C-alpha cells in the first residue's frame, strides 16, 4: 500500500513521512518542487502542486492513502484526481479553528472548512486533524532570541502547543490502519503553557537568559503584516491569543487515545529543536 505525503518539506509533513518510514511503510513524498526535497533512503519523490490538479495524476498513481495539507485552490481537482486513482483514505491537516463556536466569522476557519467539506462529500474516507497552536510557532522568535529577548503580545496567553511529531504519529497511525474514518480529531499538546513559560523553558534548554518584552497588539499586527499576512488575519489571531489569557486553549487527550503515548511537552519540543535556535 503506497501512501502519498504532500508537503513533505513542511514541519508536519516531514514528521508524518518520518513516522511512516519508521513503521516500514511504502511512502511517496511530494513537494511543488521535488528537486528540493531531502527524503530518507527508499522514499520516492514527486512534484505536485495542490493548486494545479493537472500535476496530481502521476503523484497519485497507485496511491491508497494521502496525508493532505489544506489548500483551498484546487481542492475539487484533488478530489477528482484522488477518486480516479482509487484513493481510499485522506488524512487532512486542518485547523482547530473550524471547531470553534464562532468559526463562521473566522477567515482561517472558512479557508479550512471549504477543504474539509470537499473531503467529507468525496467518495473516499477522510479524517480531519484539527489541532490548536503548533509548538513550531515559536520558531518565529528566532531572530529576537538571537538578541536575548522574546517579543510577544499577551505573554500570559496559555496554549496547549502541540509537537509536530505528535501530529506525525497521529496521522501515520491513521494512514496505516485506516481508523478514525469520518472523524474530526481535536488535537493539542499535554498542557497549557504560557508564552512567558515557553520563553523560560527555551532559556533553560538553550542555556542563556531570555528577557520577555510585551508587544502591543498594534506592534504585533505590524510584524505580521511585514511577514505578508493578509490584513484581516492578524486581528483574528490576536483576538484568539487574547482570549487565552483569560481561558487557556483547549487541551485534549486525543494524541494518547490514537497513538497510545502521551503528547510531548513543550520542553521536549525545545530540546528537539535546540539546534534551530543556535
# binding residues, ligand NAP (CB under 6 A): 23
What's the Rg (C-alpha) of the chain? 19
Contact segment (CB under 6 A) with ligand NAP among 45-53, 58-66, 173-181, 207-215 equals 45-53
Long-range contacts of 104-110 (CB under 8 A, 24+ apart): 106/236, 107/230, 107/232, 107/233, 107/236, 108/233, 108/236, 108/237
Nearer residue to ligand NAP within complex by CB, 198 or 209: 198
Is 31 a binder of ligand NAP (CB under 6 A)? yes
Order of all β-strands in the sheet with 2-5: 44-47, 26-31, 2-5, 63-69, 89-93, 125-131, 184-187
Among 3, 4, 5, 13, binds ligand NAP (CB under 6 A): 13
Among 1, 51, 57, 107, binds ligand NAP (CB under 6 A): 51
Among 65, 98, 106, 133, binds ligand NAP (CB under 6 A): 133
**CA-CA-CA-CA dihedral for 174, 177, 80, 84, to nearest 10:** 160
Among 78, 124, 134, 154, binds ligand NAP (CB under 6 A): 134
- Nearest Cα to 120, choosing from 74, 65, 169, 75? 75
Nearest residue to ligand NAP, scored by beta-carbon proximity: 10
Q: Which residues bind ligand NAP (CB under 6 A)?
A: 6-7, 9-13, 31-32, 49-51, 69-71, 93, 95-96, 131, 133-134, 136-137
Amino acid at each position: 500500500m503506497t501512501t502519498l505525503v504532500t508537503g513533505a518539506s513542511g514541519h508536519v509533513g516531514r514528521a508524518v513521512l518520518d513516522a511512516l518510514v519508521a513503521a516500514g511503510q511504502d511512502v511517496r513524498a511530494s513537494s511543488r518542487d521535488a528537486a528540493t526535497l531531502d527524503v530518507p533512503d527508499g522514499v520516492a519523490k514527486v512534484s505536485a502542486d495542490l493548486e494545479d490538479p493537472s500535476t496530481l495524476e502521476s503523484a497519485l498513481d497507485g496511491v491508497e492513502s494521502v496525508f493532505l495539507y489544506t489548500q483551498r485552490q484546487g481542492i475539487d481537482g484533488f478530489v477528482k484526481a484522488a477518486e480516479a486513482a482509487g484513493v481510499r483514505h485522506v488524512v487532512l491537516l486542518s485547523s482547530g479553528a473550524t471547531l470553534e463556536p464562532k468559526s463562521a466569522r473566522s477567515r482561517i476557519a472558512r479557508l479550512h472548512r471549504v477543504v474539509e467539506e470537499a473531503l467529507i462529500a468525496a467518495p473516499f474516507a477522510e479524517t480531519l486533524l484539527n489541532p490548536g497552536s503548533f509548538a513550531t510557532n515559536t520558531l518565529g522568535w528566532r531572530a529576537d532570541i538571537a538578541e536575548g529577548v522574546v517579543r510577544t503580545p499577551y505573554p500570559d496567553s496559555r496554549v496547549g502547543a502541540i509537537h509536530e511529531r505528535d501530529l506525525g504519529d497521529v496521522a501515520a497511525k491513521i494512514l496505516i490502519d485506516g481508523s478514525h474514518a469520518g472523524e474530526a480529531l481535536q488535537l493539542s499538546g499535554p498542557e497549557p503553557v504560557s508564552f512567558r513559560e515557553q520563553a523560560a523553558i527555551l532559556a533553560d534548554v538553550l542555556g542563556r537568559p531570555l528577557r520577555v518584552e510585551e508587544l502591543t497588539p498594534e506592534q504585533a499586527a505590524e510584524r505580521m503584516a511585514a511577514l505578508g499576512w493578509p490584513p484581516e488575519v492578524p486581528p483574528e489571531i490576536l483576538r484568539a491569543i487574547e482570549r487565552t489569557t483569560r481561558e487557556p486553549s483547549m487541551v485534549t487527550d486525543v494524541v494518547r487515545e490514537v497513538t497510545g503515548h502521551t503528547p510531548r511537552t513543550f520542553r521536549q519540543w525545545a530540546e528537539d529543536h535546540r539546534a534551530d535556535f543556535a
